[in-house]
Amino acid sequence: MGFENLVFLWKDGGDSRKISRVNLAEGAYLYKLVHNLSAPYIVEIGTMRGGTTKLLEEANQSGVVFTVDLAPNIETSLGERAHSIVADSTKIEVNVDSVDLLFIDGNHFYEGVKADWDNWNKAVKIGGHIVFHDCYIVKKKYKTVIDLIKELKNNKTIGNNYVEQQAVASLCHLIKVG
Ligand SMILES: C[S@@+](CC[C@H](N)C(=O)[O-])C[C@H]1O[C@@H](n2cnc3c(N)ncnc32)[C@H](O)[C@@H]1O
């Protein structure tokens, strides 16, 4: 399915988010990334209404998507290449190392996203991608996704093991290099 057939995931106007909780620019970025991968093995943390699951499945007709959520409420018609897993992403025993794209869009508090990072980053193969959603400064007193990214830069994980790609809006895109 081409990107033009996925516009129902968004609405017109300033905040384009609808079924998909990524905005239109972020959706286009993810679509292009996945479209250009070869038969990608994709893991998504945070299914919600299935908006980005649909996008990730349709962006590449040879890919498979495993999407994890504590309590998904899927409103999109997913195909046979998308698999919903109802579970706490931080408690899943991860024993794979060949994931091409890990899309992290679950618990956005620092402790939650750190737990996802600790549990899942080993699943991504060298040359594979990790994309975080909602990586922006929240003017509140709690720590969030951006604090994890700062920490990974400070301890040189980003730099030595991952390189950051220029992405769009609130996406943070890393490629695993070691
Ligand atoms: C922002 S929504 C995901 C939106 C979706 N990626 C999209 O844009 O269409 C975040 C989801 O993460 C789920 N979530 C939060 N913590 C989780 C956890 N520890 N394990 C699994 N899912 C979790 C929530 O239930 C919620 O549905």
Q: How many angstroms separate the alpha carbon of residue 95 from the centre of ligand 1? A: 21
Task: Give domain limits for the chain.
Answer: 3-176
Q: CATH number of the domain at 3-176, please? A: 3.40.50.150
- Give, using CA atoms, the residue closest to atom 14 of ligand 1: 106
Q: How many angstroms separate the alpha carbon of residue 35 from the centre of ligand 1? A: 23
144 lines ligand 1 (CB under 6 A): no
Run means of pLDDT, 10 residues per run, the chain, 178 residues: 89 83 94 97 98 98 98 96 98 98 97 98 98 86 93 98 96 97
pTM of the model: 0.96
35 lines ligand 1 (CB under 6 A): no
SS (H, E, C) the chain: CCHHHHHHHECCCCCCECCCCCCHHHHHHHHHHHHCCCCCEEEEECCCCCHHHHHHHHCCCCCEEEEEECCCCCCCCCCCCEEEEECCCCCCCCCCCCEEEEEECCCCEHHHHHHHHHHHHHHEEEEEEEEECCCCCCCCCCCEHHHHHHHHHHCCHHHHHEEEECCCCCCEEEEECC
pLDDT of residue 142: 87
